[in-house]
Amino acid sequence: MPILATGTQEKDIDYLLHFALSLEEAERSSVTIKNYLCDLNYFVKWFEQKTDQKFNPEQITPTDLRDYKHYLSEVLLLKPKTVNRKLSSLKSFLNWALCEDLIPEHRIPRVPQPIPEETVGPQWLNRLEQHALVRIVEQGKNQRDITIVQLLLNTGLRVSELCSLMWSDIQITNRKGRLIVRSGKGGKRREIPLNQDARQVLQELGYHQNQGKKDAIFWGQRGPMTPRGVESMLHKYVVHAELNEVTPHKLRHTFCKNLIDAGVTLEKVAMLAGHENLETTRRYCSPSSHDLEAAVALIGVNE
């Protein structure tokens, strides 16, 4: 039912509140709704100061949107990613307003094109950085932490997949092993072979005692580990190893890069990593900043 029902005065309508309620009905997360409202409140405040009139979506013009984009990028100097997110939130709101008959179809303003964003490829650890991280974690003598780092480096799991692992997802024999991701990105199931390093740390963590159990493998103080808990644990070791920022996802990138460097085909890497698009995997063929620095060093005059 349209919001602007018979007898309703436009000045009484809280457009953003109704928009938020529609997002709740669509089962959008509380974080998503909060981000939408933050972006939209920003626009409403700007609009009312610019036009000196109370906000009404029907009064928004294409010129307003172009001016707003210019204000965000050229006056506030916000990053392209932030500008594009705010414009995307506004576009979603305007589409909702159209569906609610708050804006006639012929009057809905077109949201300006997104600002091109600088493409940042995947980041990974080089061999020295990998060895430094593994060494510092092993010195901590916490088998849970050792197993987490080795699995991220040797299976390429997403941190959410790692936290969801149960002992029943692991199968290890004398010379082989495999790990089952029950619900990866997009709800897809996949199997990842376990190499010797991965099998060893899982056995040392208690595989044989817990084989087949539908219990979480990794636990924190208050229950099964969460992605945030893994990131916090990893950060502690990264500080001691004096490495630059290292995240669970960076270790996943490292797994893919190591496979590419070892000559594994893109198709196989994509299957192991759970990539839906081969172009995602192809990014790991790009040279890193270390590779480029080494290349330039080859032609130094004094070399």
Indicate which residues carry an active-site annotation. Answer: 158, 185, 249, 252, 275, 284
The type of residue at 115 is I
The type of residue at 117 is E
Polymer length in residues for the chain:
303
| DSSP-assigned beta bridge partners for residue 219 | 224
How many whole angstroms separate alpha carbon 287 and alpha carbon 207?
38
Is the CB of residue 193 less than 8 Å from the CB of residue 177? yes
How many whole angstroms separate alpha carbon 253 and alpha carbon 296?
24
Assign 172 to helix, strand or coil.
strand
C-alpha atoms less than 13 angstroms from C-alpha of 280 in its C-beta half-sphere: 13
Nearest 5°: CA angle at 142, between 139 and 143?
A: 110
How many whole angstroms separate alpha carbon 170 and alpha carbon 155?
12
The closest alpha carbon to 197, from 161, 233, 146, belongs to 146
Which tokens hold the place of 183?
């619900």
How many whole angstroms separate alpha carbon 192 and alpha carbon 185?
15
First CA to last CA distance, the chain: 75
How many whole angstroms separate alpha carbon 122 and alpha carbon 273?
14
